[in-house]
Structure 1
Amino acid sequence: MVARAARATDLADLDGAVSDCFACPRLVTWREEVARVKRAAFRDQRYWGRPVPGLGPPDARIAILGLAPAAHGGNRTGRIFTGDRSGDVLFAALHRAGLANQPTSVAADDGLTLRDTRIVAAVRCAPPDNKPTPAERDTCAPWVHREVELVRPTLRVVVALGAFAWAAWWPVLRHVYGQRPPTPRPVFGHGAHWSGESVPALLGCYHVSQQNTFTGRLTPSMLDDVFTRAKLLAGVD
């Protein structure tokens, strides 16, 4: 897998390779079981049931780094943050910020496009209980590293959705940018901001999970503030 990620020539090649990954037995078993059993509301649909690639243009200035696909969202539709309530919140915010052409994301063929923004996940398969293990994160890391390498010429800002994504960024600094991560590591928090020399700025944002959005821990205005700041740092109009 490491070699396959490294030789991906562009994002389309990388996305195809990601979708054919079987590196983590626990995740393979889970994603395929979910696709077979299905949720009752989607019993007539064919689930994707494979790793989910990133989404967005190759000249993105902003990257949104998430946790992993949702079992009945991305794992069902084949597109990251598509078909679940977390995606509803995220894409509505991106649309308000002028970074998405529409506020909803319900299916892979619904016409959604992103502007100046690429969405990736630290782990590409839906994990049980939405909790990938550190070993699974590390196994999946070469996909993230190569994806960042491919957008590196334009990438200026990374928005980390949650503490897991925030922690997943530091190895990218070493593998892609050849920089030693800061010691001690900056603490994750909503609105946290870290900047290094000649590397993308890192912004922290609470994850757009229902646990956060339904309880009011993360509000639309809080998301708007993060993306306004990301656009400013990235030089996006």
Structure 2
Amino acid sequence: MPVASPLPDTEPPHDCPRCPRLVALRNELRLEHPDWWNAPVHAFGDAGAWLGIVGLAPGKHGANRTGRPFTGDYAGDLLYETLGKFGLSNDRYDGRPDDGLMLDGAVIVNAVRCLPPQNKPTPKEINACRPFLADQRAALPQLHVLVALGRIAHDSVLRMFGERLADHPFGHGAEHAMPDGAVLIDSYHCSRYNTNTRRLTPEMFEAVFARALALKPAR
């Protein structure tokens, strides 16, 4: 079983019916892999977070299997190693939801909570899931910095705030002021493809979190 959400009142139900295509895939995988999580993946981290990390969607063999964001696949290896390096976790990541990992000052959510076919959610599916993202932002009063991992996360955060996409072009390391005072920082997604092609290097990824820490509000 996955770790408990820090924001339980904002999560989609285990059998969320909003997206028929994703429900069909979920049901198929429940038959094929009954020991996997195969349900909407909840937030993970600190309910008092100042930093929010927004991913795309659960990976088939990662979060969809384990029930914890970015857990069990390559993207999680890089993300959690980076969070540990910057003191945002207790650095106990071992690719399992029972590894004892805890985040400090950070929370991770996805723009889409269920596994999409070929990791490609449709615009309708992204829109259907955005209310959960908005509810979680509202439930995190200390949140000041958001890091969007990839363009879909970037676009979904902007739409959540009612911002025009044309006013905030995506770019690795780009910063965007949000109407509630938060700052959105873009990053290329920490996927195996992006790192294998060197579109994203560990140094580039670390620079995003170094900048996020520089924007951390004083207590």
* TM-score in same-fold range (> 0.5): yes
- Correspondence for 2:177: 195
Letter in 2 for 1:14: T
Deviation at 1:20, TM superposition (A): 3.7
Deviation at 1:182, TM superposition (A): 4.5
8 Å contact from structure 1 (residues 18, 143) kept in 2 = no
Deviation at 1:18, TM superposition (A): 4.1
- For the structure 1 residues 216 and 183, does the alpha-carbon distance in structure 2 shift closer, same or farther, using more than 3 Å as the test? closer
8 Å contact from structure 1 (residues 91, 105) kept in 2 = no
Gaps of 5+ in 1: 1-9, 39-44, 175-180
Gaps of 5+ in 2: 1-5
Cα deviation digits, residues 24-44 of structure 1 (max 9, x gap)? 110011123234334xxxxxx
Aligned residue-pair number: 214
8 Å contact from structure 2 (residues 66, 97) kept in 1 = yes
- Correspondence for 1:6: none
The whole-number CA distance in structure 2 between the counterparts of 1:90 and 1:137 is 22
C-alpha root-mean-square deviation of aligned residues, in Å? 1.9
- Correspondence for 1:212: 194
The whole-number CA distance in structure 1 between the counterparts of 2:165 and 2:106 is 29
- Correspondence for 2:22: 27
- Correspondence for 2:3: none
Letter in 1 for 2:149: L
Runs of 4+ in 1 over 6 A off after TM superposition: none
- Correspondence for 2:214: 232
Q: Which has the higher helix share?
A: 1
Aligned sequence identity (%): 42
Cα deviation digits, residues 13-67 of structure 1 (max 9, x gap)? 223x4434121110011123234334xxxxxx81011010111111100000110
The whole-number CA distance in structure 1 between the counterparts of 2:165 and 2:57 is 26
The whole-number CA distance in structure 2 between the counterparts of 1:75 and 1:146 is 22
The whole-number CA distance in structure 2 between the counterparts of 1:121 and 1:18 is 15
The whole-number CA distance in structure 2 between the counterparts of 1:114 and 1:147 is 16
TM-score by length of 1: 0.85
Q: For 1:110, what is the secondary structure of its paired residue?
A: coil
8 Å contact from structure 1 (residues 159, 204) kept in 2 = yes
Q: For 1:31, what is the secondary structure of its paired residue?
A: helix
- Correspondence for 1:91: 80
